[in-house]
Structure 1
Amino acid sequence: MPKAPKQKVSKKVVHPNSRKASQISRHEAHRDRVQKNKSKAAKGMQQLRTVLEWFHERCTAESYSQDDVCDLIEEYISRFDDELEEIRLASTLKGRQVRPHASREDALRMVREKELALLTTGGFDAPDLTDAKNLALFRAWDQKVDHIPTFKMRKFRRTQAPEPE
């Protein structure tokens, strides 16, 4: 029966002001920084995945023009309108001055305003459905996060978007 490999266990105590101590602390800080960046990137990919899943469900046409994609983006931006309307109705029925779902309503309204501002000024990042190859690739997507970088993304801008409510 083969022997188990011996593990190195340092029994020496490292002086806090030594070069070895600073090397160990740099190594730990580097490992923490890399782990933090990995988790941040994974979170961003998951958020992008939810956006792409929404577009994937509604991608039915054979080809899209820039205006068609902008219309699709506006539909994406208005995805919370029904919930906002329900919250408004619930707050008017109670007859009280206190809004029962104020934080949720404010969060949804802020998301809508931010996305609408992106569409009108800076550009809303969406899959480039105007390109035929990218559209075919996007339709064949199996909704795995690993395949997201293969899509060509593009910033779409609408000069005249609907006014926020």
Structure 2
Amino acid sequence: MGKKNIQGQKLVHPNSRKTKSLVKTLKKISNRKKSKHNHEMRQNVLGEKILWFRDNLPSQEKLTPQATMDIIEKYLHRFDDELEVISAKQSMGGHRQRQHASRQDVINHTIEREREEFMTCGIEVPSMMDSEGMKKLVEWNGELRFIQNLKLARISHKNLLKDVPLEGNST
């Protein structure tokens, strides 16, 4: 009795070179898909951030360092209303509800991470302090494939403080 064919194919030994080659190829394809998915997720998050800044611009011209700091602070506090709603729902129940707990944890983690970025190395935002960057940001239609045309800047709290004039001094 020989090996039986399964739908016209020969059975291959699990430790054969053919099997190892097939596993290697499948693993390569899987890793490529995973990498592509991760890239799309990062692109989507960046797109949402840029869209938020575009929709919340105070004016259509370039911003001063003080106005930039104000809009970044507004961005860092964008979840305050949602957190208030969650805490109100939890106060009515007397304990932390499971359905809102995960969302609350995600929001708190995001706020903490973004604030940490802003205070240390800088948060990546659209360039709003030069007129060319603002023009491109205002004209952007929200498509992720055109993000590469936008000018991004990494702005930190320390860098903005250098540019913001002190309120008592007029130099």
**Cα separation, 2, equivalents of 1:66 and 1:124:** 14
Q: CA RMSD in A?
A: 2.6
Does 129-138 or 151-160 show the bigger shift?
Answer: 151-160
1:70 touches 1:157 (CA, 8 Å); kept in 2? Answer: no
Partner of 1:99: 96
Partner of 1:132: 131
Aligned mate of 1:43, from 29, 41, 46: 41
Q: State the Cα distance separating 1:132 from its structure 2 match.
A: 2.0
Matches within 5 A, 1:84-123: 84-92=83-91, 94=92, 96=94, 98-100=95-97, 101-123=100-122
User: TM-score, normalising length from structure 1?
Assistant: 0.77
Q: State the Cα distance separating 1:25 from its structure 2 match.
A: 2.2
2:118 touches 2:156 (CA, 8 Å); kept in 1? Answer: yes
* Stretches of structure 1 lacking an aligned partner (at least 5 in a row): 1-9
**Cα separation, 1, equivalents of 2:80 and 2:116:** 17
Aligned mate of 1:57, from 44, 55, 76: 55
Residue identity matched to 1:24:
L
Residue identity matched to 1:50:
E
Shift of the 46–13 alpha-carbon distance from structure 1 to 2, 3 Å rule, reads same
| Number of residue equivalences | 151
Q: State the Cα distance separating 1:115 from its structure 2 match.
A: 1.4
1:123 touches 1:157 (CA, 8 Å); kept in 2? Answer: yes
Q: State the Cα distance separating 1:31 from its structure 2 match.
A: 1.0
2:123 touches 2:155 (CA, 8 Å); kept in 1? Answer: yes
Secondary structure of the residue aligned to 1:109 is helix
User: TM-score, normalising length from structure 2?
Assistant: 0.75
Secondary structure of the residue aligned to 1:32 is helix
Partner of 2:149: 150
After superposition, what is the alpha-carbon deviation per residue over 1:22-69, rounded to whole angstroms, capped at 9, x for unaligned? Answer: 332222111111111001111111111111111111222311133322
* Stretches of structure 2 lacking an aligned partner (at least 5 in a row): 1-7, 162-171
**Cα separation, 1, equivalents of 2:103 and 2:32:** 33
**Cα separation, 1, equivalents of 2:118 and 2:51:** 19
2:126 touches 2:151 (CA, 8 Å); kept in 1? Answer: yes
Secondary structure of the residue aligned to 2:153 is strand
> Kindly, what percent of the aligned residue pairs are identical?
28
Secondary structure of the residue aligned to 1:122 is coil
1:23 aligns with 2:31: no
